[in-house]
Structure 1
Amino acid sequence: MMELICPAGTPAALKSAIDAGADAIYCGFNDETNARNFPGLNFSRDELRKGIALAHARGAKILVAINTFPRASAVEIWQRAVDDAVSAGADALILADIGLMDYAARRHPNQRLHVSVQAAAANPDAIAFYAETFGARRVVLPRVLSVPEIAEITRESACETEVFVFGGLCVMAEGRCSLSSYATGKSPNMQGVCSPPSHVAYEQTTEGTTSRLGGFTINRFGASEPAGYPTLCKGRFSTAQGAGYIFEDPVSLDATTLLKGLRDAGVTALKIEGRQRGRAYVESVVRHFRHALAALGSGSEADIASLKPFTEGQASTLGAYRKTWR
């Protein structure tokens, strides 16, 4: 049975994920060492220790994401995060930076290491490098691969594979986003903030709502149209070819219908995106996939509710898993 890996941006969300049937929960510290560094999210050192104790008492694992790239002048912040996560009893560390992976492997040789999706390891040679050099046990594959490609990678790799099955998508290559940092000066891959709230602004007019990021107009919504959060990759812009979502539509990945194919491809674990989402999202999405996996294991049809209310833009896609353009 494939493991179900679930997000938690708060201690309350962590408990909800456990209650809903998560096999493992991934979370991060409340600083720039993780890629969801938003105010009011993530864990203090004490909260992480308590969260790990709760998870272990309930038979679940905790994976700590330290998946941003350290600043040259402050490497010790990331190294301290590694040390503190290991001390707290983390079941695995999710790392992206090669230097930090080397530090963790040397300083804590018995600690289980996972390669973050931010590392963009998308072929057997890249995965073999992490496994052979640092002893990495699992790689989270980028969301640019089809199911047959995942199957081929899994066959050729000694490393476990983990793939996303639900949540937000990004038009940028994993770990290589420059759009948000261009507009705000803060990098998702270094400071862990995509469209930081400090740079977000909304203007209400008689015609509706205008959203801006770092002074750039991202979108305009009609009076009765829900106003989405402004990210450059999902903004509407005017071009010579017309106006609309030029980079990417606001839509969420939902791979519920592909679970059998992913299992047959040899995937070890399924990951739900959404550490910035609330408890209702976590509980509902985790229960959805728990039921779907149970049905898959028994060979029966899954009687599961739609996840449409929890998708971005009330729409979903199979993403690159089914590359229909080839």
Structure 2
Amino acid sequence: MKKTTLFLLAFIAGITLNAQESISSAGFEITSNINAPSTTQNAQVACTTEIVSTSIDMGFGNLNATEVADNFVIPDGERFEVSTITVFVIANNGGAADIFSDVTIRFYDSAGEFPGALITEDVIVPGGFTNLGAVNGDLDAYQLDLTLTTPVELLGADGSETTYWFSVFGPNFTSASNFLETTDETADTVVTSFKDGADPAAAWSNINNGAFLPPGVAYSLAGDCNPLSTDDNVFADNISLFPNPTNGDLNINFTRNFGAATVTVININGQVVLTSSIEAIGNNTIATSKLANGVYFAQITAENSNATVKFIKS
């Protein structure tokens, strides 16, 4: 695997449910210079993008009530395993040690202009944060560095780009004001969505006070990135799961013989809840009937090949 950092410019705006709040800053900059890893004969062109000289102009909040999300794209045939996340928050500058007690990070698949089904959720205590300086009055800008409890593997579908969504929610932030840092430097045309972060059933919206949410917030996702192998693509193309959703056991069908395989079922918190050894040919039944209702991922591994398929237990 080659190491990569994806610096993503997001249309994220943490909006209160009733009104938009904003502040202005002195306009200081965050500058990131990332050198693309060198390519080899077998390596794909480095999957690295960057934001350079992002000015902190204003912020929107509050994150302790509102979950905000933006989309990003995994290239065709690429595997990206996200392990660390950096976000920038503008908050009251008193008592910084206990402002950011924990941060809820969520990944979703895409339903077009809004996030779709939840893929995974992680509640993270920041491993560290950096005070970047005063913004306005009693507000400072902070860089929060987050390490996921379990890395999240996201795949670009064979033959097309794949869109995912990433969100931030800070229900236990103790600051009276906590805004996501914003920027105007974006070419993205799919605007941010927001909703009540404490209600999983709450509807997403991208309009506040009659207007689309403004651009955007700088953040970074970092991890390992490498091309999907031909073997992985062939393997995935010959697997089907049914019924999906299921209210009982799950069937995994292989249209070709891939020999001995292991199925590992993981819940949205990254916990392994079931492991089964199978023969990857024909139909196999996995005993999922006793699992709690929710979203799961079946990681199927055979010699030199692996695939991950999402399913829902209802």
Higher strand share: 2
Which bracket does the TM-score occupy, shorter chain normalised? under 0.3
Which has a greater percent of helix? 1
Q: What's the TM-score once normalised by structure 1's chain length?
A: 0.22
- Which protein shows a greater Rg? 2
Q: Which has the higher contact order (CA 8 A, sep 6+)?
A: 2
